[in-house]
Amino acid sequence: VEWYRHVAHDITRAETPEKLVNDGYLWSKMNLEWLTQDSQGMGTCAVAGHQDFVSYFGGDTFHSIGGILASGLHQTAKDSLRMIGAITMEQGGKAPHEFSSTGKVHDPGSVGETQGFITSVWKTHLWTGDEEFFKEMYPICRKGMLEYVASEPTMDGVLMAECEDRPGG
Protein backbone atom coordinates (compact mmCIF):
# COMPACT_ATOMS: atom_id res chain seq x y z
CA VAL A 1 0.00 0.00 0.00
CA GLU A 2 2.83 2.42 0.86
CA TRP A 3 4.45 1.84 -2.52
CA TYR A 4 1.22 2.75 -4.35
CA ARG A 5 0.86 5.90 -2.22
CA HIS A 6 4.44 6.77 -3.18
CA VAL A 7 3.73 6.20 -6.90
CA ALA A 8 0.48 8.17 -6.70
CA HIS A 9 1.72 11.16 -4.74
CA ASP A 10 5.51 11.38 -4.77
CA ILE A 11 6.54 10.40 -8.29
CA THR A 12 5.87 13.04 -10.96
CA ARG A 13 2.63 14.79 -10.14
CA ALA A 14 0.52 16.65 -12.67
CA GLU A 15 -1.69 19.42 -11.36
CA THR A 16 -3.94 21.23 -13.81
CA PRO A 17 -7.15 23.20 -13.28
CA GLU A 18 -9.02 20.21 -14.77
CA LYS A 19 -9.77 17.49 -12.21
CA LEU A 20 -10.50 15.00 -15.01
CA VAL A 21 -7.02 15.53 -16.51
CA ASN A 22 -5.39 15.14 -13.08
CA ASP A 23 -7.36 11.95 -12.41
CA GLY A 24 -6.54 10.56 -15.87
CA TYR A 25 -2.83 11.15 -15.29
CA LEU A 26 -2.97 9.48 -11.88
CA TRP A 27 -4.80 6.40 -13.20
CA SER A 28 -2.49 6.12 -16.19
CA LYS A 29 0.50 6.19 -13.87
CA MET A 30 -1.05 3.58 -11.58
CA ASN A 31 -1.93 1.38 -14.58
CA LEU A 32 1.71 1.45 -15.72
CA GLU A 33 2.80 0.42 -12.24
CA TRP A 34 0.25 -2.41 -12.14
CA LEU A 35 1.57 -3.69 -15.48
CA THR A 36 5.07 -4.04 -14.04
CA GLN A 37 6.01 -7.57 -13.08
CA ASP A 38 9.00 -9.26 -11.47
CA SER A 39 9.91 -12.62 -12.98
CA GLN A 40 12.21 -14.91 -11.05
CA GLY A 41 15.54 -15.15 -12.79
CA MET A 42 14.53 -12.60 -15.46
CA GLY A 43 14.04 -9.31 -13.63
CA THR A 44 11.44 -6.57 -13.83
CA CYS A 45 9.59 -5.45 -16.95
CA ALA A 46 6.25 -4.01 -18.02
CA VAL A 47 3.90 -6.75 -19.30
CA ALA A 48 1.17 -6.62 -21.94
CA GLY A 49 -1.59 -7.62 -19.52
CA HIS A 50 -2.55 -9.20 -16.25
CA GLN A 51 -3.54 -11.92 -15.26
CA ASP A 52 -4.93 -13.87 -18.15
CA PHE A 53 -2.25 -12.80 -20.61
CA VAL A 54 1.08 -12.22 -18.95
CA SER A 55 3.70 -11.90 -21.65
CA TYR A 56 6.43 -9.42 -22.43
CA PHE A 57 6.42 -7.54 -25.71
CA GLY A 58 9.36 -5.54 -27.01
CA GLY A 59 7.30 -3.31 -29.30
CA ASP A 60 4.64 -2.58 -26.68
CA THR A 61 7.34 -1.66 -24.19
CA PHE A 62 9.13 0.59 -26.67
CA HIS A 63 5.89 2.42 -27.48
CA SER A 64 5.17 2.77 -23.75
CA ILE A 65 8.59 4.05 -22.68
CA GLY A 66 7.63 7.71 -23.15
CA GLY A 67 4.63 7.32 -20.86
CA ILE A 68 6.58 5.26 -18.34
CA LEU A 69 9.26 7.97 -18.21
CA ALA A 70 6.77 10.86 -18.07
CA SER A 71 5.03 9.07 -15.19
CA GLY A 72 8.28 9.18 -13.24
CA LEU A 73 8.69 5.40 -13.28
CA HIS A 74 12.29 5.71 -14.45
CA GLN A 75 13.45 2.54 -12.74
CA THR A 76 10.67 0.56 -14.45
CA ALA A 77 11.84 1.91 -17.83
CA LYS A 78 15.45 0.99 -17.14
CA ASP A 79 14.61 -2.43 -15.72
CA SER A 80 12.36 -3.23 -18.70
CA LEU A 81 15.06 -2.25 -21.19
CA ARG A 82 17.67 -4.24 -19.29
CA MET A 83 15.51 -7.37 -19.49
CA ILE A 84 14.81 -6.88 -23.19
CA GLY A 85 18.46 -6.00 -23.75
CA ALA A 86 19.60 -9.32 -22.29
CA ILE A 87 17.46 -11.22 -24.80
CA THR A 88 18.54 -8.85 -27.58
CA MET A 89 22.18 -9.75 -26.86
CA GLU A 90 21.35 -13.48 -26.87
CA GLN A 91 19.75 -13.00 -30.30
CA GLY A 92 22.79 -11.30 -31.83
CA GLY A 93 21.39 -7.78 -31.49
CA LYS A 94 17.81 -8.48 -32.63
CA ALA A 95 15.27 -7.07 -30.14
CA PRO A 96 12.48 -9.56 -29.38
CA HIS A 97 8.83 -9.01 -30.20
CA GLU A 98 7.44 -11.40 -27.59
CA PHE A 99 8.89 -13.51 -24.79
CA SER A 100 7.57 -15.24 -21.70
CA SER A 101 8.35 -14.65 -18.04
CA THR A 102 10.77 -17.61 -18.27
CA GLY A 103 12.73 -15.95 -21.09
CA LYS A 104 11.44 -18.21 -23.86
CA VAL A 105 11.25 -16.16 -27.06
CA HIS A 106 7.98 -16.66 -28.93
CA ASP A 107 8.65 -14.11 -31.69
CA PRO A 108 12.27 -13.02 -32.25
CA GLY A 109 11.41 -9.52 -33.53
CA SER A 110 12.47 -7.42 -36.49
CA VAL A 111 14.57 -4.51 -37.66
CA GLY A 112 11.76 -2.17 -36.57
CA GLU A 113 11.71 -3.53 -33.04
CA THR A 114 15.48 -3.37 -32.82
CA GLN A 115 15.29 0.30 -33.81
CA GLY A 116 12.52 0.78 -31.22
CA PHE A 117 14.73 -0.72 -28.53
CA ILE A 118 17.67 1.54 -29.43
CA THR A 119 15.44 4.63 -29.52
CA SER A 120 13.93 3.71 -26.14
CA VAL A 121 17.38 3.35 -24.59
CA TRP A 122 18.28 6.82 -25.89
CA LYS A 123 15.00 8.36 -24.63
CA THR A 124 15.57 6.80 -21.23
CA HIS A 125 19.08 8.21 -21.11
CA LEU A 126 17.79 11.68 -22.03
CA TRP A 127 15.01 11.58 -19.41
CA THR A 128 17.10 10.18 -16.58
CA GLY A 129 20.62 11.41 -17.35
CA ASP A 130 21.82 8.01 -16.13
CA GLU A 131 25.25 7.63 -17.74
CA GLU A 132 25.86 4.22 -16.17
CA PHE A 133 22.63 2.89 -17.70
CA PHE A 134 23.64 4.27 -21.10
CA LYS A 135 27.14 2.73 -20.86
CA GLU A 136 25.57 -0.61 -19.91
CA MET A 137 23.10 -0.56 -22.83
CA TYR A 138 25.38 0.91 -25.50
CA PRO A 139 27.10 -2.40 -26.45
CA ILE A 140 23.67 -4.00 -26.95
CA CYS A 141 22.48 -1.11 -29.13
CA ARG A 142 25.73 -1.17 -31.10
CA LYS A 143 25.39 -4.91 -31.70
CA GLY A 144 21.83 -4.37 -32.90
CA MET A 145 22.75 -1.66 -35.38
CA LEU A 146 26.13 -2.83 -36.61
CA GLU A 147 25.62 -6.59 -36.56
CA TYR A 148 21.92 -7.40 -36.86
CA VAL A 149 20.50 -4.47 -38.86
CA ALA A 150 23.61 -4.17 -41.03
CA SER A 151 23.38 -7.87 -41.90
CA GLU A 152 19.83 -7.64 -43.24
CA PRO A 153 19.71 -7.71 -47.07
CA THR A 154 18.85 -4.44 -48.79
CA MET A 155 17.35 -3.44 -52.13
CA ASP A 156 17.81 0.14 -53.29
CA GLY A 157 18.55 1.22 -49.71
CA VAL A 158 15.34 -0.28 -48.27
CA LEU A 159 15.75 -2.76 -45.45
CA MET A 160 14.40 -6.03 -46.79
CA ALA A 161 13.22 -7.20 -43.37
CA GLU A 162 10.58 -4.47 -43.48
CA CYS A 163 9.21 -5.39 -46.93
CA GLU A 164 6.47 -8.02 -47.12
CA ASP A 165 7.04 -8.76 -50.80
CA ARG A 166 10.80 -9.19 -50.68
CA PRO A 167 12.34 -11.92 -52.82
CA GLY A 168 12.01 -15.26 -51.08
CA GLY A 169 9.82 -13.75 -48.32
pLDDT of residue 60: 87
Is 0.85 surpassed by the pTM of this model?
A: no
pLDDT of residue 169: 44
Name the CA radius of gyration of the chain, rounded: 17
37 vs 143: which has the higher pLDDT: 143
pLDDT of residue 101: 80
Contact 26, 19 (CB under 8 A): no
Q: What are phi and psi of 160, to 5 degrees?
A: -65, -30
Residue 168 has pLDDT above 50, yes or no: no
Instruction: Read off the pLDDT of residues 107-154 as tens digits, 9 standing for 90 and up.
Output: 999 989 999 999 999 999 999 999 999 999 999 999 999 999 888 766
Contact 79, 44 (CB under 8 A): yes
Q: Report how far residue 22's alpha carbon sits from residue 114's, in angstroms, rounded to the nearest whole number.
A: 34
Contact 78, 133 (CB under 8 A): yes
Q: Report how far residue 162's alpha carbon sits from residue 154's, in angstroms, rounded to the nearest whole number.
A: 10
Q: Which of 106, 105, 100, 121 is nearest to 39 (CA)?
A: 100
pLDDT of residue 166: 44
pLDDT of residue 83: 93
161 vs 157: which has the higher pLDDT: 157
- The residues facing 99 across adjacent strands are 56, 105
Q: Report how far residue 169's alpha carbon sits from residue 26's, in angstroms, rounded to the nearest whole number.
A: 45
pLDDT of residue 43: 77
Residue 22 has pLDDT above 90, yes or no: no
Instruction: Read off the pLDDT of residues 50-106 as tens digits, 9 standing for 90 and up.
Output: 666 667 888 888 988 998 998 889 999 999 999 999 999 999 999 999 988 888 999
